[in-house]
Amino acid sequence: MIIMFIPLLIPLVTGASVAFWLLAPVMILGALGMILSRKPVHSAMCLAAVMISLAIQYAALQAPFLFVVQIIVYTGAILMLFLFVLMLVGVDIRESLVETIKAQRTLAVLAGLGLGSLLIFAVGNAIIGPNIGLRADNEEYGGNVQGVAALLFDRYVFAFEATSALLITAAVGAMVLAHRERLTKRRTQADLAETRMQRYAETGQHPGPLPTPGVFARHNAVDTPALLPDGTVSDLSVSATLRARGTILDSRDLVKPVDQTVEAITDENSPHTTEEEQP
Amino acid sequence: MNPTNYIVLSAILFTIGTVGFMIRRNAIVAFMCVELMLNATNLALVTFSHMNGALDGQVAAFFVMVVAAAEVVVGLAIIVTIFRTRGSASVDDANLLKF
């Protein structure tokens, strides 16, 4: 029974519709994950998933040039710029969940639902006429890239020239905004050493480098705090960023085996030690 | 493939971007929501281009990408500058110009 229908079904299912129905849920989930995740880095990753899926939709819509540009410019350049700035501004920033305007989130979601239904029912129904497709246009000059180029350098040449001015202005603007004027004298190494020794003389702070992370039989990574000779944990031996992120190892887990070993060695009544010592 | 599906997907993505822009406080995430809205618009433009059998929509999407690149560069530079002077990337903290 099913086998009879397969020849009927196959012409209905095209690559474009498979790509659409596979990727549309991914895109919507990615977009929701972007606005709902607490960490900005997760938001950026979700946005990357949405953008790459969008590129595949462009390919399915007979736009191979935009498919490549979407991956190179959007996912490759713009999103990586976002990630660079995230690293610069600090990955650890968490948003406060206190609402400045009362019931702002509820109202925003309601407004979003209204806007969405408006867009879907108004603009979604505006489509009339047959779906022509781009086969003829793409073949007119021998390909999609040639067709886009013919439009870009003929009908839209002034807009294209204007974008060059826009890009130069953006580059100059970014340099002006990110540039920092030096207001104080540059501090040399001699100055830094002097400050360090001054601080040592006044507060007794150790002038040397900070202690390295702990080296244990099971761990020696940077998230492992070192133990001081008296068995306590040195707080200076791990980075403050790692501690703020809460990813350092628990110091009690590190101290426990050391204590057990010390106990086993020093405990004279332990059967293990006595057996070895008696013969 | 029915182009209405693409338009509906584009509208949903645009709406999610708008809601995210309204509820998120982190300036960088709000900026990402703007990018999502621009991307949704691009999808609509490419769909219209496919539907009408003309490449003009693709050229328009290309221009949107160029403008978005310029906008991201300037916007992120502003965010970095604000973070440097005020020590925060939250849009609620930049309120010195409020009455």
The 10 Å Cβ neighbour count of residue A214 is: 21
How many A×B Cβ pairs under 8 Å? 235
Structure tokens at B86: 């005020």
| pTM of structure | 0.77
What pLDDT score does A274 carry?
47
Is there a contact between B79 and A85 if contact means CB atoms under 8 Å apart?
yes
What pLDDT score does A137 carry?
77
Cα maximum dimension of chain B: 53
Per-residue model confidence as pLDDT tens digits over B72-96: 999 999 988 888 888 777 887 777 7
Give, for A69, the enclosing helix (H) or strand (E): helix A64-69
Which amino acid, residue A87? M
What pLDDT score does A273 carry?
47
CA distances from A167 to A16, A247, B66, B76 (A): 34, 41, 8, 15
Task: State which residue of chain B sits closest to A19, comparing Cα positions.
Answer: B1
Which amino acid, residue B41? T
- Residue A142 and residue A136: Cα distance in Å, rounded? 10
Check: CB of residue B25 under 8 Å from CB of residue A95: yes
Is there a contact between B53 and A134 if contact means CB atoms under 8 Å apart?
yes
- Residue A257 and residue A263: Cα distance in Å, rounded? 10
pLDDT truncated to tens, each residue of chain A (279 aa)?
Answer: 555 555 555 556 788 888 899 999 999 999 999 999 988 899 999 999 999 999 999 999 889 999 999 999 999 999 999 999 988 886 666 676 677 778 888 999 999 999 999 988 887 777 767 777 777 777 788 888 999 999 999 999 999 999 999 999 999 999 998 888 888 888 899 999 999 999 999 988 888 888 888 887 777 788 888 888 887 778 888 888 787 777 777 767 777 777 788 888 887 655 554 444 444
> If 0-12 CB within 10 Å is exposed, 13-18 middle and 19+ buried, where does residue A9 land?
exposed
Q: For residue B26, what are the β-bridge partners?
A: B90
Q: Quick check: B83 contacting A, CB < 8 Å?
A: yes
Per-residue model confidence as pLDDT tens digits over B19-48: 999 998 888 999 999 999 999 999 999 999
Q: Compute the nearest-CA separation of A253 from chain B (Å).
A: 35
Q: Is the ipTM of this complex over 0.90?
A: yes
Which of A 26-65 lie inside 8 A of B, CB atoms? 27-28, 31-32, 34-35, 40, 43-44, 47, 50-51, 54, 57-58, 60-63, 65
Cβ neighbours for A34, distance < 8 A, ≥ 6 positions apart: A43, A46, A47, A50, B16, B20, B29, B32, B33, B36
Is there a contact between A112 and B15 if contact means CB atoms under 8 Å apart?
yes
Q: Which of A63, A81, A95 sits opposite B72 (nearest CB)?
A: A81
Structure tokens at A14: 């095209």
Which of B 17-56 lie inside 8 A of A, CB atoms? 17-20, 22-26, 28-29, 31-33, 35-36, 39, 42-44, 46-47, 49-56
Structure tokens at A266: 């020093």
CA distances from B8 to A13, A16, A28 (A): 20, 16, 11
